[in-house]
Structures are given as structure tokens and as C-alpha cells.
Chains A and B, each alone.
Chain A
Amino acid sequence: MTDTYFNELTTQFSYAFLDSETPVPDELYITVKPEACVGICRYLYEKCGASLVSMVGSDERPLNGGFRLYYFFSLPGHGSSVPQGSRSFVNLQMKVDERHPEFTSITPYMPAAHWYEREIQDLLGLKPVGHPDPRRLVLHENWPKGFYPLRKDFDYKTQPPRTSEDFEMKRVEGEGVFEIPVGPVHAGIIEPGHFRFSSVGEKILNLEARLFYKHKGTEKLAEILPFTKGLFLAERICGVCSFSHATSYCQALEKIANIQIPERAHYLRTIFLELERLYNHVGDVGNICAGTGLLVGNAQGMLLKEKLMELNEAITGNRYLRGMNTVGGLRRDLSEEKRILILSTLRQIQKEFKALIDVIMFLSTQRDRLETTGILSQQVARDLGVVGVAARASGLDSDLRRDHPYAAYDKVSFKVPLRTEGDVSARVWIRIEEVFESIRIIEQLLDTLPSGDIRVEVKEIPPYKYALGYTESPRGANIHWIMTAPDSRLYRYKIRSASYVNWPAVPLVVPGNIVPDFPLINKSFNLCYSCTDL
């Protein structure tokens, strides 16, 4: 697959290519001359229909005397309309000279790059020249100038003195315009973020979101932990996508160590990934009712979610499916008794969830709140590289489980629901349909579960190798990129979560809606702050 792209790109840009390799199947890495990088990115995005799935900055001065930027693209298969598993990754890399710590911004052509570039500026001190909004992002104003945490000469434990607590936000001015500040500590039991609405009466004119309050230095911390402990960190990137992040981590390292995990482990991982989707989606649908004041629906949704969490605990020992994954497979097997427990519980859940949907989704009062609220257009979704439920509700047909199959997804048949309305209602309906698909997937896997081992021992991982690990979490694609260091440690661990790419869409969707609809819109995206802020 990657060959075809390579040939096509070579004819266009041979003058700019320095090197290329395919360290793992379906991941092509091309080293390009910095001055040609923007052109090649644009070609991939505009001509080949590629989407930017991640961008990484890495301090490789100790290795080759410079910083390095990586651009990751997912490309569709040639001459066909996205059949199963036909996409591959094409990754560009270029060196940034230490004496000129800057690079040309690609944001003006590909808005999806906007946060990656600001983050690289904050954490590595490389300036994106031409970026339309080069404000701080990850490190708030309390962070002094001149400290770059992801540089190798910065120690994880350094705590530079606090500077200013002020920050600037865009303002809307005019007669009758009010500003409503919300957060970072909210009224409900939810994560912190600061929102500022400018409104006239009920109508919202503009929303500014300030995030990254929860930034804890996860990526830097991973560099000082052994890879076995790094897994625990991966499980704690996000509470409710724990299994998905852990699987992405394991898959990347398994590719690097070039090991094949047992078939049974693939199946079990897929089952747990779908159980994670289930409890999230069921909870999210119930939670929407909290936004519309339909308390019966909310209580019932929470009850079903609790039952699924109890199922998680019964089969894995943890309500959040933690402690199951390991590099090389799984740590615990699934007994026959538990296999049957999953099947019977899911049958029950399916029935009760169906009954819940019949009640809550057809009420006129409910439909009135959900329909045409918070519309995300397909164009904006594509420009920002939106993923997951939000993408599929706005007509972007993308799902890693089908497009880049991993674990045992190539062994099952399932439908990827798609809607085009892009409103709150569409996002809720996508989740509802996915709940039934997930149950179908789990049933298929449990019916054909192969016997055998569940793990292979991985004692060490080779240094200076890299690979992507990815999963389609309940919120969308979680893409991890790992480069290893000597002594089975990580040199660089880049975590790109689904929430990270979807957040910028929220402030764009809100204007034009009324203030009380904001919680509803927010809930329909249901993004996580922890895996955005890291």
C-alpha cells in the first residue's frame, strides 16, 4: 500500500526527499527538506485526501544534533472509496536546526495543525512562523519564559517560579453584550476548564475556551519510567478511555518489539474495548437527559451504566478495566463462567436500553431540545480533523476499527453508523446505534473465541525504534506514537487523544445557540479534559 504513495510522491517531490523507510508495515516515513515540507503536506491534504492525524515535536539533539518534527497522515486506498482496511499512514519528518528554532506553520492551509504547533512552541520552544494565533496553549501564563519541558536538558522535577496569573481572551464589545465567565471550577462534578461566553440576551455570540488546566506533564513523565510502568501511566491518561489508551500503548510497543500476540489476546482486547465503548455510550445517552431536564431518562441511563461497570468489575476486577492489558497480551484470562456472564448481562442491557430509547428519544420536548442544536458542519469537521462520534454525526465516514483494523476487528462484521445533520440529536443517535453494534461485535467474538495463551513475555524493547499505536475509543481515534530509548525506556511518547482534536470544534459550534443549550452541546460531544491536557 505504502509503495504506491511513495512512487506518486517521488515523481512530484523527488528533489525534496532525503530518506525513506517502512519500519513497520503500513507506516511509511519520509525525511524531507524543511523548505519543501509545507508543499508536501498540502499535496497530501489537498490532492490525496489525506488527513493529519498527529504531529510530534521531539528533541533529538543528543542523537543527531537537532530537533525533529513528524507529521502523520492517514491516506485512503487508491482508486476505491474507503473499503475495509485500505488506509495506510504516511509520515513526514524534518529536522529543525537548534540555532534557528523555528519552522513554517502549516495551519494557514490545514487548520487541523493549529494546536499541535502551539503545543510544540510551548513545550519545545520551536516557533511556528506564520501561525495565525500563536498564543500560549499548554503552559499557562504562570509559566516563565525560557523553560521548555520536553527538551532533554529539562528535568521532570524542575518547578520554575510562578509568574503572571493574568491571561487575555478575545472579547466581543457592543451595546447589550454581556460576558459570562464559567469555571475553571464548575458547578457540577466535572473536569475543569474556563469558558467565556459573550452574549446578547440568551443568544451566544462568541465562546472562548481556555483549557489545559489539568496539564500534568504526562508525556515527559513517560520518558523517565520503565516501559512496564509507562503502561500504568497510559491507563491513567483518561479514566473512561483507560483500556483504549492502554491498548494503543501496548500495540505501539508490540510493533516495535516485533512480536505477535496470541489470537485469543486479540479477541479479548477487542471485547474489552467494546465494553468500554458500551458503558461510555450508555452513560452519555443518559447524561444527555440531564441536559434537557428529563430526569427519568438520566436516572435510567446511570443505572444501566452502573450495571455495565459492575460487569467490568466482575470480569476484570476493575470498574474501569484497568490492570488487564500488558505489553504482549493480557494479564488475566476470561473464564467460561465469565464469558456467559457477559452474554447474559448484555442481553439484559440491550433490552433495557432499547426500552429507554423508545421513551426518551421520541418525546417532542426532548426532540425540540436536541434537533438543530449545536450544528457542526462537515466542512468545519474536516478542516479541524474531528474524529469519532462527532465526525460520524457530521457526515465524515471515519472509524479506525474499519479503516486501519487492529486487534480482532478484521474478524467481525459491523456497521459504522453515519449521519449528516451534525446536531446534538445526530451525535446521540450515532451513540445509540453504536451501542447495538458493540453488543453485536462482542457476541460475535465471544461465540468464536479461540483458545490458547493470552500473552507472550516481553522482557525488553529495542532502542531508537518507532511506531504508531491506535484505537478507536468511545470518543474517537486515540493515536499514540512511541520512540524508544536504550534500557527499555521511551525516548518520546506522543499521545494524541480524540478529545484533543475535537475540543476546538466546540467553541465554533456554540455561537447562535442560547446559553442553556451549551451544557447540552457540551454533553453531546462529551469530551475529556484529562486526555486533552495531559
Chain B
Amino acid sequence: MDQEMIEFQKPEENQEVLRTHLEELGNHLSEKIGKIFGRSLHIREVDSGSCNACEWEITALSNPVYDLERFGIYFVASPRHADVLLVTGPVSRNLYTALLKTYEATPEPKLVIAVGACACSGGLFQKGYASLGGVDKVLPVDVYIPGCPPRPQAILQGLLLAMDKLEQKIRKRNFSDLHEGDTCHRP
């Protein structure tokens, strides 16, 4: 419980560092997206029982400071248009069906990213009568972004990792297409 006084960098310097980091991350990401898709990356966010802070950090990615769209990342309204699902929250019992249906509506190849401690492992809520204890109890998860909530840069970093994974997935799929037809199953 007890914590030493943490001294932070001077706030202005700190923000400066973060902003530079953001530019680098974003450009890197946008290059990758261009290579894989030849278009922008489409993301659908699904709240499976978060405390709402994870949502706000994802929303913050669209504000004028982060302005994610300039890197070719776009939040879509329907899972049918999405390449990636960003899932927050420990998966509440009452959202289980909605989460499954959203996943099923997303076209292959798709990625699932667990955003925040709750989505990664159940976090503070663990497994309980109304909390299933993390997204990977229900869906196959490709990338885990820890944090409570993860700050916007961390979410970008997670997306970058996800692009690598997606590349692998597509390569594997093309390979199997050549040899034995479409082997992409729904889990």
C-alpha cells in the first residue's frame, strides 16, 4: 500500500516525450497498415463490462492530440466492417452473448485485442458470479494490452503488435489456400 513519493519528469517535458513517441509509433503503424491492407485499418470497439475508463482512453485516440485517423486507423460502427476487435472489460455474464455475436459477425481474418487489465485477466474482478474473468475465457485473444486503463500510446503500441500478428495470419492463410483450400475456421 505504502508508496514513496514518485517524482515525475517535469510535466511539459513529459508531454513532449510522449508526443514524439506518438508520432513515431503512428507513422510506423500507418506504414504497416498500408503494406498489409492497402487501405485503412478498421476497428470495432466492444465493451464487455469495463469501468468505462478503458473506453475513454480509446475515445481519446480520436481527439485532436492523438488524431488516429491521420495514421489510417478508423473506428467503424459495425463489426461487419471491422478487421480488429478491441475488447475491454472482464466479460460480464450479461454481455457474454452479445460479445460472441459481435465476434461471429466480424469477417475473417480477424484479430481480437484485449484492452486493459480486466480484459487481459479479469483484473480486480477475477472470475465471479457475474464476471467471466477475461476475454480469453470466451474468445481467442491475439494481443493483450495491460494497464488500468492503458494510456493511448499503449493502445497504439498494441495495434502495432497486432499488425505483425495479422501479417502472419494472412501469410498462413494464403499458404494453406494454395495447398488445401480455406482452412480458416471459427473457433
Scoring B11, B15, B58, B77 by chain A CB atoms within 10 A of each residue's CB, the highest score goes to B11
* Bound CA span A306–B56, Å: 11
CB-CB contacts below 8 Å: B78-93 with A: 78-79, 89-90, 92-93
Looking at the complex, which of B22-30, B94-102, B170-178 is the stretch in contact with chain A? B94-102
CB-CB contacts below 8 Å: B94-149 with A: 94-98, 102, 123-132, 148-149
- Across-interface contacts of A229 in B (CB, < 8 A): 124
- Binary per-residue interface labels of chain A (51-89) against chain B in the complex, 1 for a CB within 8 Å, 0 otherwise: 000000000000000000000000000000000000000
Q: How far is the CB of A249 from chain B (nearest CB, A)?
A: 14
Q: When the two chains form the complex, which single residue of B50, B63, B94, B129 contacts A303, counting CB atoms closer than 8 Å?
A: B63
Scoring B64, B65, B129 by chain A CB atoms within 10 A of each residue's CB, the highest score goes to B129
Which residue in chain B gives the minimum CB-CB distance to A154? B129
- Across-interface contacts of B3 in A (CB, < 8 A): 323, 331-332
Q: When the two chains form the complex, which single residue of B53, B95, B125 contacts A242, counting CB atoms closer than 8 Å?
A: B53
- Across-interface contacts of B94 in A (CB, < 8 A): 140, 142, 212-215
Q: A317 to B65, Cβ gap below 8 A?
A: no
Tell me whether A157 is interfacial, beta carbon within 8 Å. yes
Q: When the two chains form the complex, which single residue of A215, A232, A332 contacts B124, counting CB atoms closer than 8 Å?
A: A232
Q: A216 to B53, Cβ gap below 8 A?
A: no
Tell me whether B52 is interfacial, beta carbon within 8 Å. yes
Looking at the complex, which of B32-40, B41-49, B160-168, B179-187 is the stretch in contact with chain A? B41-49
- Across-interface contacts of B52 in A (CB, < 8 A): 191, 238-240, 528-530
Q: How far is the CB of A243 from chain B (nearest CB, A)?
A: 12
Looking at the complex, which of A30-38, A94-102, A181-189 is the stretch in contact with chain B? A181-189
Q: B95 to A333, Cβ gap below 8 A?
A: no
Q: B59 to A303, Cβ gap below 8 A?
A: no
Q: A236 to B92, Cβ gap below 8 A?
A: no
Q: How far is the CB of A135 from chain B (nearest CB, A)?
A: 15
Q: A189 to B14, Cβ gap below 8 A?
A: no
Q: A165 to B97, Cβ gap below 8 A?
A: yes
Tell me whether A416 is interfacial, beta carbon within 8 Å. no
Tell me whether A208 is interfacial, beta carbon within 8 Å. no
- Across-interface contacts of A156 in B (CB, < 8 A): 128-129
Whether A217 contacts B128 in the complex (CB less than 8 A), given A165-B97, A185-B98, A239-B149, comes out as: yes
Q: A221 to B64, Cβ gap below 8 A?
A: no
Q: A332 to B95, Cβ gap below 8 A?
A: no
* Bound CA span A465–B97, Å: 41
- Across-interface contacts of B50 in A (CB, < 8 A): 191, 214, 239, 530
- Across-interface contacts of A313 in B (CB, < 8 A): 11, 14
Q: B128 to A192, Cβ gap below 8 A?
A: no
* Bound CA span A395–B65, Å: 38
Q: B95 to A320, Cβ gap below 8 A?
A: no
- Across-interface contacts of B53 in A (CB, < 8 A): 236, 239-240, 242, 320
* Bound CA span A331–B5, Å: 8
Whether A214 contacts B92 in the complex (CB less than 8 A), given A302-B63, A326-B1, A332-B3, comes out as: yes
- Binary per-residue interface labels of chain A (129-169) against chain B in the complex, 1 for a CB within 8 Å, 0 otherwise: 00000000000101100010100001011111010010000
Q: B124 to A314, Cβ gap below 8 A?
A: no
Q: How far is the CB of A436 from chain B (nearest CB, A)?
A: 23
Whether A317 contacts B8 in the complex (CB less than 8 A), given A188-B77, A214-B49, A303-B64, comes out as: yes
* Bound CA span A142–B129, Å: 12
Q: B47 to A192, Cβ gap below 8 A?
A: yes
* Bound CA span A217–B128, Å: 7
Tell me whether A341 is interfacial, beta carbon within 8 Å. yes
Tell me whether B156 is interfacial, beta carbon within 8 Å. no
Which residue in chain B gives the minimum CB-CB distance to A192? B47
Q: How far is the CB of A238 from chain B (nearest CB, A)?
A: 6
Whether A214 contacts B129 in the complex (CB less than 8 A), given A239-B149, A305-B63, comes out as: no
* Bound CA span A219–B56, Å: 24
27 CB < 8 A contacts A-B: A156-B128, A157-B126, A157-B127, A157-B128, A162-B96, A165-B97, A185-B102, A188-B77, A189-B58, A191-B47, A192-B47, A215-B130, A216-B92, A221-B126, A228-B1, A233-B124, A236-B124, A238-B52, A240-B53, A302-B63, A303-B63, A303-B65, A309-B60, A310-B15, A311-B11, A319-B57, A320-B149
Beyond A239-B50, A303-B65, 12 additional pairs, beta carbon < 8 A: A140-B94, A157-B128, A157-B129, A192-B98, A214-B47, A214-B92, A216-B90, A216-B92, A228-B1, A239-B52, A299-B64, A305-B63
- Return the 3 tightest CB-CB contacts between A and B, nearest first: A239-B53, A314-B11, A187-B77
